[in-house]
Amino acid sequence: MPASPAVTPDVPATTPRAKRVDRVVGVADVQVSNDPGERLVTYALGSCLGIAVHDPVANVAGLLHVMLPTGAIDAAKMQAKPAMFVDSGVPLLFKECYRLGAKKERMIVKVAGGAYAGANEEDDRFQIGKRNVLALRKLLWKNGVMIHSQDTGGVQTSRTMWLDVATGAVTLKVNGVESQL
Domain range for 156: 24-180
Would residue 116 count as lying in a domain? yes
User: What confidence score (pLDDT) does residue 9 get?
Assistant: 45
Q: Has residue 158 been placed in a domain?
A: yes
- Overall number of domains in the chain: 1
Would residue 18 count as lying in a domain? no
Domain membership of residue 156 (yes or no) is: yes
pLDDT, position 8: 47
- Span 1-54, pLDDT tens digits: 445 455 444 444 444 444 789 999 999 999 999 999 999 999 999 999 999 999
Active site residues: 48
In a domain, 77, yes or no: yes
Per residue in 69-127, pLDDT tens?
999 989 999 999 999 999 999 999 999 999 999 999 999 999 999 999 888 778 888 99
pLDDT of residue 14: 46
Q: Is 17 part of any domain?
A: no
CATH number reported for the structural domain that contains residue 107 in this entry = 3.30.1330.200
Q: What is the per-residue pLDDT for 80?
A: 94
The residues, any chain, with a CB within 8 Å of residue 137's CB and separated by 6 or more, are: 147
